[in-house]
Structure 1
Amino acid sequence: MTAARDVRDRLRRAWLLHPRWSLALRGAIAAALAWAVGMLAPAPLSEFPYYAPLGAVVATTSTLVRSVRESLQTVGALLLGAAVAVGTDAVLAPDALSVAVVVGLALLCGGWRVLGDKGAWVANSAIFVLVLGQGDSTQYIGAYAGLVLVGALIGIAVNFLLPPLPLTPSDAALDDLRDALVEQVDDLADWLEHRGPLDPGEWERRRRALWPTVEGARRAVARTHEARRGNLRARHHGQRVTTLARRADVVVTSAEVVDELVRLLVGWESEGRERVALGPDLRPELATALRAFVAALRAPGYDDLRAAAQGPDPSPEEQFGDAVDGLRDEVRHARTTSGDDHLVASAILVVLRRGSLALLRDG
């Protein structure tokens, strides 16, 4: 029983981690239903049943709210392309020139902002209507646009009954970002502690290397927030959705903190500078604060048992705040004894304080 349950749990997690699988299932169901409806439709619609699955696929490849918008945009693009083809066909004979005119006008119309990324359908529709609609373009346009619309409505209905809610992929994207931040901050603390000023080229490369992971996490969370709208499943996962939003705010804020911190250190605590922001006296204190930052990022947040597990000891988030306070005291002491204003060190403190407050608000 345990082995069977483990296999089931692994399969379920794999299913949740790969929303493309559920998207394929929804699309297949909607396309099959749309085909059946197209076959049963009265003539002349039943002569073109393959256009209905096309609309179903358009509607099932996104969230519920977006599927409605994109379906309307697709049908609008089809009708606009048809209008371009019919208008051109009325004044030009069907030859290479008319094809060129139709495609050129359709591509121009496809850039209309209202159509969004469905503007390519204008040119597709125009060519189809021009080539295949010869003889009875009105009938062809009605069948083409009508069946796509019917298929889209079926796809929207399937999305409504089986709505996507990609919580697990968003969690995984945030995990990846947190792990990347932990690695970079840990390496930064080691470098400052054991090697001194940073190598600007290497650390600028490391800073930029984080951007794709940050953007991936932002996109994943944005998709989840969009998927909540009109989603029946979201009501049953309200707490998890709220937790995800809070966690996303903390992790993305932490990423911004790390980016700004490395940017400051590359500019002011790097090899080759005569005067650096921290120097050998303040680097160890910053390294200590960074290690506390790592511990806070690694802390098992968002767990109902967390408070009970902490006991009377300060949480990792609180220890990070204390470490930032310790660095602040050392900067004040250095400012008093050296006569230097330590403006960059103060800016580093502000950045770290932002990260500390974000983690404390979550904790």
Structure 2
Amino acid sequence: MTRTRIMQAAKTGLAVAIAWMLAPYLPGVADNYPYYAPLGAIVAMYPTLMGSMKNAAQTLGSLAVAIALAGAVIIFSSPSVLTMSLAVGLGALIAATGWFGANREYIPVTVLFVLIIGGPDADDYSLGYLEQATLGIVVGLLVNLLIFPALTHNAVDQQLSNFRRVLADHLADIAEALAESWPPERDGWASAKDSLVAVSRQVREAVLLADESRKANPRARRYRRDVKADYDELAALENVTFHVRDITDVLTGAVWGTPIKVQLRPELRPALSEALAATAAVLRDWNSEDARSASHSAATDALAALTAEIDDRKDTASATTMGASAAISMDLARILAALNERIEHAQALNAEAAE
């Protein structure tokens, strides 16, 4: 339970209460259907303002389409099993286009409501339904706009930090496995690579939500954020993830022969372990500029030592036995290159700010 979610829940409850209190004051037949106003308020309470407006527009569009389908049944025929089935089926077909997003299911349901609940008063029911739902949506949008419209920037920082920690822990586990007896007794590092994709997906969703949360949001003018930098940071970490997974696959091939059987020279394991542990330290020290730069330099030195040792031994070993170490070395080089690009970007921004 985060503060943002608690605030959103409180705002939803407030919007429902306001919509319910205002519903009886609508003129005409609308006051006969006050329960649709709170429903409209709930629909409009999306975590972001832009999402709320999009959701509201899709909801009103789906209701309008459904009322038009039900109206066609009443005008050109009469409600029966056949005509209702045709109208509902056509509504489901329109909903399947995806034009109305998550609210597409309102179309066939509303068709049934108008024809079954509305019955002989379907025109009044349709008008009242649409008016009350619109009232609730307007209330929901105003509450979302006026009461601390959500900015999810902090969630992005937390998710990116967690992503780096997970990657660092994974590399550190591999480094420890290489330093232990061979083959390693622990195998958690091999299966954990699949969780990296799930973490990456969560971070991407957080970045997309933060990007959407600033659109049409008056608070975004005060709390500015370089969302492009977040996307670049995410892209760099996704690139790191690809190479970490590749390192894991190479080592599982060396231990268990899957997915591809490879050979790893035992005398290279200490250098590989040191290079992996040093790379993990770069990710772990990321939030401190000085520690991050020092860790990156240390990782670069460790990689250089690993590469030199591979070069020294390549004349005394076959290409097959050196292939695994060379592949891991190349993956580490690409990881450090991706991270170095982000370090240089941060240093350039700091230099601009200092000027």
Letter in 2 for 1:31: V
Q: Pick from 323, 327, 336: which aligns with 1:356?
A: 336
The corresponding residue for 2:312 is 333
Report deviation, 1:44: 1.7
The corresponding residue for 1:115 is 100
Report deviation, 1:245: 4.9
TM-score by structure 1 length? 0.81
Q: Quick check: 1:270 aligned with 2:255? A: yes
Report deviation, 1:60: 1.5
Q: Pick from 35, 40, 46: which aligns with 1:61?
A: 46
72-81 or 50-59, which moves further after superposition?
Answer: 50-59
Letter in 2 for 1:359: L
In structure 2, list runs of 5 or more residues that go unmatched. Answer: 344-355
Q: Pick from 55, 58, 61: which aligns with 1:76?
A: 61
Give the whole-Å Cα distance in 1 for the aligned partners of 2:11 and 2:263: 57
Report deviation, 1:224: 1.3
The corresponding residue for 1:224 is 210
8 A Cα contact 2:70 2:115, kept in partner: yes
Give the whole-Å Cα distance in 2 for the aligned partners of 1:324 and 1:153: 59
The corresponding residue for 2:326 is 346
The corresponding residue for 1:6 is none
Q: Pick from 30, 33, 41: which aligns with 2:26?
A: 41
8 A Cα contact 2:272 2:325, kept in partner: no
* Alignment RMSD: 3.0
Change in 2 beyond 3 A, CA 1:130/1:201 = farther
Give the whole-Å Cα distance in 2 for the aligned partners of 1:242 and 1:164: 19
The corresponding residue for 1:318 is 297
The corresponding residue for 2:165 is 179
Letter in 2 for 1:276: V
Change in 2 beyond 3 A, CA 1:334/1:229 = farther
Letter in 1 for 2:101: G
Report deviation, 1:228: 1.8
Letter in 1 for 2:221: R
The corresponding residue for 1:165 is 151
8 A Cα contact 1:199 1:271, kept in partner: no
1:261-300 CA-partner distances (Å, limit 9, x unpaired): 2123223x22359973432122221111111022111105
Alignment of 1:277-316 (within 5 A): 277-301=263-287, 303=288, 306-307=289-290, 315-316=294-295
- Name the count of aligned residue pairs: 340
Alignment of 1:225-240 (within 5 A): 225-239=211-225
Letter in 1 for 2:36: Y
Give the whole-Å Cα distance in 2 for the aligned partners of 1:204 and 1:96: 58
Give the whole-Å Cα distance in 1 for the aligned partners of 2:225 and 2:267: 46
Give the whole-Å Cα distance in 2 for the aligned partners of 1:223 and 1:159: 16
Give the whole-Å Cα distance in 2 for the aligned partners of 1:139 and 1:75: 17
In structure 1, list runs of 5 or more residues that go unmatched. Answer: 1-13
Letter in 1 for 2:152: P
The corresponding residue for 2:351 is none
Give the whole-Å Cα distance in 1 for the aligned partners of 2:252 and 2:99: 44
Q: Quick check: 1:20 aligned with 2:5? A: yes
8 A Cα contact 1:292 1:320, kept in partner: yes
1:10-63 CA-partner distances (Å, limit 9, x unpaired): xxxx7xx34221111222232233334432221122222222222222121231
Alignment of 1:99-248 (within 5 A): 99-161=84-146, 162-197=148-183, 203-239=189-225, 245=231, 247-248=233-234
Report deviation, 1:234: 2.5
8 A Cα contact 2:46 2:55, kept in partner: no
234-243 or 39-48, which moves further after superposition?
Answer: 234-243
Give the whole-Å Cα distance in 2 for the aligned partners of 1:124 and 1:199: 57
8 A Cα contact 1:181 1:255, kept in partner: yes
The corresponding residue for 1:5 is none
Secondary structure at 1:258 match in 2: helix
1:54-102 CA-partner distances (Å, limit 9, x unpaired): 2222121231112111111111111222223233345665454454444
The corresponding residue for 2:245 is 259
99-108 or 347-356, which moves further after superposition?
Answer: 99-108
8 A Cα contact 1:207 1:262, kept in partner: yes
33-42 or 52-61, which moves further after superposition?
Answer: 33-42
Give the whole-Å Cα distance in 2 for the aligned partners of 1:198 and 1:226: 45
Secondary structure at 1:122 match in 2: helix
Letter in 2 for 1:350: M
Give the whole-Å Cα distance in 2 for the aligned partners of 1:108 and 1:275: 50
